[in-house]
Every structure is written in C-alpha cells, then in structure tokens.
Amino acid sequence: MQIAELQPVALPFVPLGTSPQAEPAASGGTFDAILESEKLRFSAHAQARLSSRGVNLSREDVARLEEAVAKAERKGARDAFVMLRDMVFIVSIKNRTVITALKADQAQESVFTNIDAAVLI
C-alpha cells in the first residue's frame, strides 16, 4: 500500500451565515461506533517522513496500526507512541492520525513529550 493512497477526504464548502441541515446517520450507529470505524490517516509530515526513508507500509502494517490505535482508545489515551517492527509512530488517538514516523534506531536517546500511552506491536 502506498502512503499516497491514504489521503484525507476533502470537506464540502459551506458559506458563512448558513447552517447545513444535519442528516440522520444511515447506519443508525452511535457516534462512538462511527468514530471507531474511521480509518487511520497520515499527516503530511508523516507521509513525507515515510517517503523520504523509502518506507512502504503493507496493508497488514496499517491494519496493525489501526488495531493499536483502537487499543489505546479503549484505554482512554489521547496521544500514543506506537512501535511496529523497526518503526516508531506518534499517533493522535482522538483524530486517528499518525503525526510523525521514524525508524526505531533514530528514536534512540530521543525524548517524546505529551504522550500518554505506549503501544508495542
């Protein structure tokens, strides 16, 4: 899977002064269930980091990252340090977005702040 395939969806333009009418959920699911089903996104910074290092994540890797995010979310985490194989990812759990990515050997002697969870997969 190429990182370029994991682009966020553009939102429609809504002019100021108008309020869009809320549409009922087609599936009838709760907000939490809908949020849980959201796919993991990669920030532009994370995409650039992965691309510059020639790292291509497989579908299995992305699925494992999504699983790690779901686990951290169930524990109430907001921002997590996720280690997958030889890669380290800093993930915003609330936004389901990978903020940055680096090789594990580059993370040695680094300090990561504002992280409230660590997931090793």
* Tens place of pLDDT per residue across the chain (121 aa): 566 566 666 666 666 665 555 555 555 555 455 445 568 999 999 999 999 988 888 999 999 999 999 999 999 999 999 999 889 999 999 999 999 998 888 878 788 899 999 999 9
- List phi, psi (to 5°) of 90: -105, 125
Which amino acid is located at 85 in the chain? R
Which amino acid is located at 116 in the chain? D
Which amino acid is located at 60 in the chain? E
pTM score = 0.67
Supply 17's token pair.
Answer: 């002064």
Residue 30, C-beta contacts closer than 8 angstroms, at least 6 positions apart: none
| Angstrom distance (rounded) from CA 98 to CA 82 | 10
Strand partners, 90: 81, 100
Nearest to 33 by CA among 72, 73, 4: 73
